[in-house]
Amino acid sequence: MPRIKSALALSIATLATGFLVGACNDTSNPNGGNAGSTTTGNGLKIGTLLPTTGDLASIGQQMAGSVPLLVQTVNACDGVNGQPVTLVEVDDQTDPRAGAAGMTKLATVDKVAGVVGSFASSVSTAAISIAVPNQVMLVSPGSTSPAFTEKAQKGDFKGFWARTAPPDTYQALALAQLANQKGFKRVSTVVINNDYGVGFERAFVQAFEKLGGTVINKNKPVRYDPKAQTFDTEAAAAFAGKPDAVVAVLYAETGSLLLKTAYQQGLTEGVQILLTDGVKSPTFPEQVGRGSDGTYLLTGALGTVPGSDGKALADFNKLWQEKKGGSPGEYAPQAWDAAALLVLAAQAAKENTGVGISSKIREVANAPGTEVTDVCEGLKLLREGQDINYQGASGNVDVDANGDVVGVYDVWTVGGDGKITVIDQVSPQ
């Protein structure tokens, strides 16, 4: 999926808002009442732009619960700048056009100061072109394309962009290290043709070659159209040449069809499948399916995903268990931290605006300052005029000048029962 240019995204958003608002669901304020534009007062208003439907829904649904939980927590400890926080939730449908429409609504109708989103890099590309001119702070919990770093370095975002998941330059290095450790010398790649897939592919090729490996389809990369219905040609091309492993950078819905096609064509025999964060959800092995003997086709596949090792992780998991039951899914800690940074920065700025949040978000995320893992403790210290250094659930969330953080990566595998388990951790060096 090609990157949407700013002017095009804005025009699409303006046209699309009218017919897509029905899909952009305002949700109830955790303190009662509607969380949409009917809210009164000048309290902090934030939004979410996350995929609860579409190609990334299986992961988006796991992370969507974090922000309402954060807002409930904050409002139970006196809110921000003396007033409750209001939340407006939008489903971006894993679609840049829907994301642009949703972002336009959040910025111009709901007039939010900050947004947690999006997850897909292609959607965030569309959204940021609307957020910046409207001075809305966008903090993504999962858009990992290296393109955002490059644009931030050029000053395109004017400080209205950050993310709590590290860019794929780091995950690509982690996956290249994993492939090298496993002894794979010749690999090929197949990726979704959008910012995420192509950016990851380029970073992986560079990292793997530096480690002495060969990407056998480097000059003829396989990039699949996310709107395609069949993937026979792409599967055959990705597994051609008998590689030791195939690095597959996919989204779950379409990626499952591609891998199922490869298995049905008998292409996967003796080839290690290496996956990434875009498909790590409990339902993905079932989506790919089982063989005639009932064994999951993905058995033995390996993958990487941004891990969570923050000082606040244990408390976050405990709160999730108490409020929702079970364990939070992938990227839920990153979404919690993104929302936490928005509210802490607004309190530090003493104003509920995107400009205020943008001016203080790095200050509350980084040293110096008192280290805090509890968002309510952080708000209290800020009210007292003290400096803080927020330590998140996903990590220390030290946000650099480009809006990036550095993280660790979990290594995961699929068992014969279809269950995904984390078996190791790797830090990009």
User: Could you tell me the CATH number of the domain that includes residue 295?
Assistant: 3.40.50.2300
Look at residue 267 in the predicted model and tell me its pLDDT. 97
Q: What radius of gyration, in Å, describes the C-alpha atoms of the chain? A: 21
What helix, strand, coil percent values describe the chain, rounded to 5?
40, 15, 40
Percent of the chain with pLDDT over 90: 84
The alpha carbon of 379 is separated from its chain's Cα centroid by a whole number of angstroms, namely 25
191 and 107 within one domain: no
177 and 156 within one domain: no
212 and 126 within one domain: no
Bin 54: left if φ > 0, else alpha if -120 < ψ < 50, else beta: left
Quick check: is 178 in a domain?
A: yes
Q: Specify the 3-state DSSP secondary structure of 80.
A: strand
Quick check: is 213 in a domain?
A: yes
* CA-based nearest residue to 134, from 156, 164, 112, 101: 112
Q: Contact 168/146 with Cβ under 8 angstroms? A: yes
What's the mean pLDDT in 174-193?
97
409 forms beta bridges with 306, 426
Look at residue 16 in the predicted model and tell me its pLDDT. 38
Q: Band of the pLDDT at 330, cuts 50, 70, 90?
A: confident
Q: Band of the pLDDT at 408, cuts 50, 70, 90?
A: confident
Q: What's the mean pLDDT when you consider all of the chain?
A: 90
Query: For the whole model, what pTM was predicted?
Result: 0.84
Query: Is the bond into 58 cis (omega within 30 degrees of 0)?
Result: no
* CA-based nearest residue to 274, from 181, 210, 195: 181
Residue 76 identity (one-letter amino acid): A
Q: Band of the pLDDT at 183, cuts 50, 70, 90?
A: very high
- Rounded to whole angstroms, how far apart are CA atoms 349 and 337? 18
Q: Band of the pLDDT at 27, cuts 50, 70, 90?
A: very low
Look at residue 23 in the predicted model and tell me its pLDDT. 35
Q: What is the per-residue pLDDT across 140-152, written as a single tens digit (0 to 9) for each? A: 999 999 999 999 9
Residue 57 identity (one-letter amino acid): A
What's the mean pLDDT in 29-40?
34
Q: Does 265 or 8 have the greater pLDDT score?
A: 265
Give the domain extent around 209: 169-307+408-426
Q: Is the pLDDT of residue 7 over 60?
A: no
Q: Band of the pLDDT at 41, cuts 50, 70, 90?
A: low
Look at residue 17 in the predicted model and tell me its pLDDT. 36
88-117 CB burial, b ≥16 within 10 A, e <16: bbbbbbbbbbbbbbbbbbbbbebbbbbbbb
Look at residue 9 in the predicted model and tell me its pLDDT. 38
- Rounded to whole angstroms, how far apart are CA atoms 380 and 29? 22
Q: Is the pLDDT of residue 125 over 50?
A: yes
106 and 62 within one domain: yes
412 and 359 within one domain: no
Residue 312 identity (one-letter amino acid): A
The number of domains in the chain is 2
Q: Band of the pLDDT at 429, cuts 50, 70, 90?
A: low
299 and 190 within one domain: yes
Kind plus residue range of the DSSP H or E element containing 115: strand 114-117
Cα separations in angstroms, 288 against 261, 263, 277, 285: 9, 9, 16, 5
146 and 177 within one domain: no
Largest CA distance in the chain: 65
Look at residue 11 in the predicted model and tell me its pLDDT. 36
Place of tokens 């003396």: 82
348 and 217 within one domain: no
Q: What is the per-residue pLDDT across 378-395, written as a single tens digit (0 to 9) for each? A: 999 999 999 999 999 999
Quick check: is 351 in a domain?
A: yes
What's the mean pLDDT in 110-124?
97
What's the mean pLDDT in 184-193?
98
Q: Specify the 3-state DSSP secondary structure of 150.
A: helix
